[in-house]
């Protein structure tokens, strides 16, 4: 069974974010870049499927040169091939533009029996790209899977919903987006790291796929980031000492909750 995993290369969630001078991008200096955590679940599920039923796993990403580091890590974890569509500096947060590029790359490198992606890419957090890719490819899709059962030409995806769970069955090929709980991603092994260095990453530009990268970020853009701002700094807390006058401290707490916090 041939699987394709869509991977986003994103800032480490522990990074200290600063706003760039342009005001609408983050300052990438000193940022550590990682495979998007939800894409790790997608990759792990694809590798487990290969181990259970045979086949291959291809990882595909759209991004600048640094995204190859993420592809190498995916290869070290057990993927067989990697595809890098170079570019994307101007399409951050534009889910449709990103989906168009990924869908075109899948058409060029496929066909695949099943596509995987994280439920969202940590960074823009739109949770749209996976579903959009499926729609552009005219494929069924199920989002937020926490358990998968592969049948004969079908897949049953378990999803958590408010107040319970549901099972959605779809024919293959289809696209699945992975939610936390689907599995426990593995770490790269030393053997895998060494082997990943020997794999040739297939590289394309948007133009190779019949698309215009500049137009996707400009005239054809469906989303533009006008500005970013950090949350306001939190004010210092108030300490109420009630050892000597508990009743007075309680009255003061009630007053602060009512007049300042507007909580009561």
For the stretch 6-33, pLDDT in tens is: 999 988 888 888 888 887 788 888 888 9
User: pLDDT grade, residue 70 (50/70/90)?
Assistant: very high
User: How far, in Å, are 21, 34, 130, 134, 160 from residue 190 at the CA level?
Assistant: 40, 18, 31, 35, 35
Q: Is the pLDDT of residue 125 over 90?
A: no
Least confident of 52-56, 60-64, 171-175, 211-215: 211-215
- Report domain extents, the chain: 2-217, 237-264
Identify which of 72, 2, 4 has the alpha carbon closest to the alpha carbon of residue 35. Answer: 72
Q: Is the pLDDT of residue 235 over 80?
A: no
Question: φ and ψ at 108, to 5 degrees?
Answer: -75, -35
Q: Is the pLDDT of residue 177 over 90?
A: yes
pLDDT of residue 22: 81
2-6, 87-91, 195-199, 220-224, range with greatest mean pLDDT: 2-6
Q: What is the pLDDT of residues 97-122, one digit of tens each?
A: 899 999 999 999 989 999 999 999 88
Of the CA atoms within 13 Å of residue 179, those in its CB half-sphere come to 13
User: To the nearest whole number, what is the mean pLDDT of the chain?
Assistant: 90
Entry pTM = 0.84
> Pairing mode, if any, of strands 141-150 and 154-161?
antiparallel
The per-residue DSSP string of 211-256 comes to --HHHHHTTT-S-------PPPPPPPP-----SS-HHHHHHHHHHH
Q: CA 46, CA 201: separation in Å to the nearest integer?
A: 19
User: pLDDT grade, residue 239 (50/70/90)?
Assistant: confident
Least confident of 3-12, 67-76, 82-91: 82-91
Q: Angle at Cα 231 formed by Cα 227 and Cα 122, nearest 5°?
A: 70
Annotation: CATH topology of 2-217: Rossmann fold (3.40.50)
Q: CA 35, CA 116: separation in Å to the nearest integer?
A: 14
Identify which of 173, 1, 185 has the alpha carbon closest to the alpha carbon of residue 80. Answer: 1
Mean pLDDT, range 175-179, rounded to an integer = 95
């Amino acid at each position: 069974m041939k699987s394709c995993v869509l991977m986003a290369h994103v800032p480490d969630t522990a990074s200290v974010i600063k706003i760039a001078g342009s005001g609408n991008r983050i300052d990438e200096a000193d940022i550590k870049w990682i495979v998007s955590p939800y894409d790790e679940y997608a990759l792990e599920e694809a590798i487990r499927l290969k181990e259970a039923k045979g086949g291959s796993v291809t990882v595909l990403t759209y991004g600048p040169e640094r995204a190859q580091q993420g592809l190498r890590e995916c290869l070290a974890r057990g993927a067989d091939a990697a595809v890098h569509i170079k570019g994307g500096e101007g399409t951050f947060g534009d889910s449709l533009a990103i989906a168009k590029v990924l869908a075109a790359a899948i058409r060029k490198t496929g066909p695949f029996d099943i596509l995987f992606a994280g439920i969202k890419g940590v960074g823009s957090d739109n949770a749209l790209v996976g579903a959009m890719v499926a729609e552009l490819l005219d494929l069924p899709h199920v989002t937020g899977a926490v358990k998968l059962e592969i049948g004969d030409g079908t897949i049953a995806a378990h999803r958590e919903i408010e107040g319970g769970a549901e099972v959605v069955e779809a024919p293959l090929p289809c696209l699945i987006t992975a939610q936390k709980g689907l599995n426990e991603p593995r770490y790269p092994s030393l053997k895998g790291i060494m082997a990943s260095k020997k794999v040739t990453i297939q590289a394309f530009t948007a133009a190779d796929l019949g698309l215009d990268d500049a137009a996707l970020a400009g005239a054809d853009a469906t989303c533009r980031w006008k500005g970013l701002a950090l949350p306001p700094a939190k004010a210092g807390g108030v300490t109420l000492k009630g050892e000597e006058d508990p009743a007075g401290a309680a009255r003061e707490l009630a007053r602060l909750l009512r007049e300042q916090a507007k909580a009561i």
